[in-house]
Amino acid sequence: MSYWKKALSIGLAAVMTASMLAGCGGNNKDTAQSGGNTAGTQASDTAESADNGTSEDITTYKIATVRWTDAWPVDFLESGFMKELEEKHGIKIEWQVYYDNDWQEQKSLLLASGDLPDAFFGSICLKDTDISQNKDYFLELTDLIDQNMPNLKAVFEKEPELLARAKDRNGEIYSLVKKLPLRPEVCGNILYINKEWLDNLNLEVPTTYEELENVLEAFVTEDADGDGDPNNEIGITGASSLNALSGCLRNYLFPFGTMVSRDNNYMSLVDGKPVFMPVEENYKESVKWFSDMYQKGIIDPEFFTQEDAMRRSKLQAEGGSQVGLVSAWTADAETGLNVGQFVPLEAITGPDGKHHVENAQNFLDISDRELLITKNCQNPEKLLAWADDFYTDLASMQTFYGSIPDQIQDNGDGTYDVLVPSDGSSLDTSAWSNSMRDFGPKYMNPEFYDKVSLPADQGDGIKLAEDAINGKYIADDNVIGFPMVKYTDEELTQLTTLGTDIYKYVEAQFAHWVVDGGIDEEWDAYLKQLDSMGLQDLMNIQNGAYEAYLQSMGK
């Protein structure tokens, strides 16, 4: 039986009720935001002889990388697969490890000083604007890839989309790419509903957006948790530290066909055409619906003001969650020990009668900027040969879940089992603690997927099992998030100037209309204001970038 068939055949009832402690994967930072001081892990000054050279031949490279949180250890960088790869290539990596909470400040200092490491590892490190504004710092890699990276060249031939992602608008390559393995079709968050509350009130699982509103209203007015107080339940909660509008468009308003890019640029593709969602009629209707729920007390009154820690405390409250509906990669990532209360909600139908789901594979699974080499690097050929070995099946498995034999069991017959952590942690936490997980060069051939077995009741195993619920709606969904297009240096500058004010304005108006209402009366003035702020210029840039994207894909 193929991997995917195995995943889909897992008992969904067991999965829905399992006690899980996994975290959210991908570029979503909700799972960990605790920071730490900039730290580095220094290898010992003396290295063992490598397969292709003595200790005197070993080349040392300084590589900077960023971790979401200092709660995850980094000793895996000097052991297991990572150490084996260094020894194979006769190199030593001195890792300079930074943490997300203060990386922006540290990054600015690094780029301003020009005192750079030999390379940056992981797309979390640098943005497109960082590269375009500092191109003199980085090596153009086209010829170096051709001469030193046969594995990556084979990947480019097999999947031209990855080559298109690697190239900038001038056809130059400044960074390496990745494609994450073993991913779901519904690549993004889904809704989870409090089944315990449904049962307490003898309610059915909702299937339409009207039914969902009715259920949530019952949750907040009829003592859904059974504690005798009908006023302490929350339908939907949020946090000021999250992007309320972008998140809502993807997570709660999507029955209205509002799915937008995870790039927080409010762009969608509707029937294959670029659209700025906050000016569309269905967007206006979705805001009216959300405002109606706010007035009914369904939406947490602290939705726009509280910190994320408070939001999580309500979801993960001791004795039972205080919330009826949550959007998450997997339920346990948001609800913690209260996961048993929640079940996945099949995509509800919206006013257009369609089931809209998030399909962000283009954003979450594929990216560039996974390794950038600076002009301080004295022997880039050797470093790229090392990086080329990341584009193999076994390497991608171990840089995603951890090393053989500690986190993965080699069965000796060409198959592998990802192990349940022996320390009681979740599989997702283990993966982030023992590998680069979502970051760094990576590619696993789809033919290899069948050879990797995941625990059915943890992390990625859960996500793949739950994929059966909504994966069937992907093909017919006519609204998807905007792809990760490339911009020229000039366009990036213009987008920064235009987008900063436009995005702030639409976000402020969204919060105002949800809390105070009045969107119908103020809509025309809102559209005029956006025009005066340069929305058409912004759309000209996005349309041009999308056309260039299609050309790069041969479409």
The dotted CATH code for 30-183+364-448 is 3.40.190.10
Question: Considering just the CA atoms, what is the radius of gyration of the chain in Å?
Answer: 24
Which tokens belong to 425? 């942690």
CA distance 59 to 93: 9
Contact 142, 172 (CB under 8 A): yes
Closest alpha carbon to 473 in 326, 327, 343, 349: 349
CA distance 290 to 90: 58
Peptide bond into 73 cis (omega under 30): no
Overall pTM surpassing 0.85 (yes/no): no
Contacts by 7-13 with C-beta closer than 8 Å and gap 24+?
Answer: 7/454, 7/461, 7/464, 7/465, 7/467, 7/468, 8/464, 8/465, 8/467, 8/468, 10/456, 10/461, 10/464, 10/465, 12/344, 12/465, 12/466, 12/468, 12/469
Can you give the pLDDT at residue 56? 60
Q: Is there a shared CATH topology between the 30-183+364-448 domain and the 190-362 domain?
A: yes
For residues 113-137, one letter each, b for 16 or more C-beta atoms within 10 angstroms of the residue's C-beta and e for the rest, the string is eeebbbbbbbbbbbebebbbebeeb
Segments making up each domain of the chain, as ranges: 30-183+364-448, 190-362, 485-552
Residues in the chain predicted with pLDDT less than 70, given as ranges, are: 1-56
The fold of 190-362 is D-Maltodextrin-Binding Protein; domain 2 (3.40.190)
HEC sequence for 253-294: CHHHCCCCCCCCCCEEEECCEEEEHHHCHHHHHHHHHHHHHH
Q: Which helix (H) or strand (E) holds 99?
A: strand 91-99
pLDDT digits (tens, 9 = 90+) for 243-275: 779 888 988 999 999 999 988 899 999 999 999
Can you give the pLDDT at residue 241? 72
Residue given tokens 């911009």 in the structure block: 487
User: Other CB atoms closer than 10 Å to residue 158's CB: what's the count?
Assistant: 12
CA distance 437 to 455: 17
What amino acid is encoded at 348 in this protein? Answer: I
Can you give the pLDDT at residue 55? 56
Closest alpha carbon to 514 in 246, 305, 304: 304
**101 three-class SS:** helix
Can you give the pLDDT at residue 332? 87
